[in-house]
Every structure is written in structure tokens, then in C-alpha cells.
Amino acid sequence: MKESRPRKSHISTPRKPSPERSAVMRAVKSRDTGPEMAVRAMLRPLAPGYRLHRADLPGKPDVVYAGRRLAIFVHGCFWHGHDCPRGARSPKDNADYWREKIARNRARDARNVAALEALGWRTLVVYECALKDPAALRARLGAALASAPRRAKPSRRPNPRLALCRAAP
């Protein structure tokens, strides 16, 4: 007599990733990535004095020029669903999960850009595929920096209370 095996369901359930896949995913960095370092190397001669990963701003922009109110995000094409060939590629394994994850990433990116603009910041999103044409990217970065003039620093008036404290014996 044949033993009956449980039938495969046509409904896919999320599979637990293999230890190898988990190790690969754990190695994916969120800061100081190759594309981010390349963009920073292009920015250094154009306009030094940027800050990195400002946690007090929505989305923790990768590069921030506070005086110019310019926030720059460097996105990976796959992770942020860019419409280039690399970003349009979708994994075959666990496809529903990845489709939803990338859609959530795109929605979060749009919310962060909108929140920064509401605070008076200008944003620039650089996808990793833009690094294939360094001259064009350098021109784009230069244009963004040129159209965001530095704000004058607020004048520091002497605090009259401090002057009174210093004058006392």
C-alpha cells in the first residue's frame, strides 16, 4: 500500500532563509556603501564641509549640507525600486515578499522627501546606476550645490547677562 504524502499547497508561504542567505543579507550595509563613498569623493572637491547621516532629519540623509539646506540620498537601484534594468529586476524566490518590501521602501522614500521639503530642505536622490556616467553625475551634483546658496550665519550678539556677570568683582 502506498503511503500518502501531504499535497503541496498552491499558496506560497514565506520560507525561512538559509543560513548562507542570512549571512549575505547581514553583510548588506546601510551606510558607507560603495556608491555612497563614490558620491562623497565627487562632492569633496566641489563643496567640502558636509555632514553624514543626520539622525535629526527625516530619513537620515546620506550627505547633508546644512547651510545650503540640501539633503542628498544615495540609493541602491534594487533596494529602492529604480526604473533602470538593475532596479526593475525582481527575485524569483519569495517574490511576493520582495515586491512588498521594495514598495514599502519606495513609499518610505517618498514620505522622507516630502517631510524634508515641508521643513524647507531641498533633496537630491542619486541612484547607484548614475555612477556609470561620472561626468554627468558630477555636473548634476554641482548644479544642485550651485542652486542652493549658503545661508548667512546668524549674527551673534553679546548676551547682556554675561556682560553683567563678568563685570561683577
Amino acid at 103: A
* Fold assignment, 27-151: Endonuclease; Chain A (3.40.960)
What integer pLDDT is reported at residue 147 of this predicted model?
A: 83
β-strand partners of 72: 63, 124
This model's pTM is above 0.75 = no
CA distance 57 to 63: 11
CA distance 36 to 44: 12
What integer pLDDT is reported at residue 98 of this predicted model?
A: 86
Each residue of 131-150: pLDDT tens digit?
A: 999 999 999 999 999 986 66
Three-state DSSP state, 9: coil
Confidence bin at 22 (pLDDT 50/70/90):
low
What integer pLDDT is reported at residue 95 of this predicted model?
A: 84
What integer pLDDT is reported at residue 42 of this predicted model?
A: 96
What integer pLDDT is reported at residue 15 of this predicted model?
A: 64
Q: What angle do CA 45, 30, 21 make, to 5 degrees?
A: 135
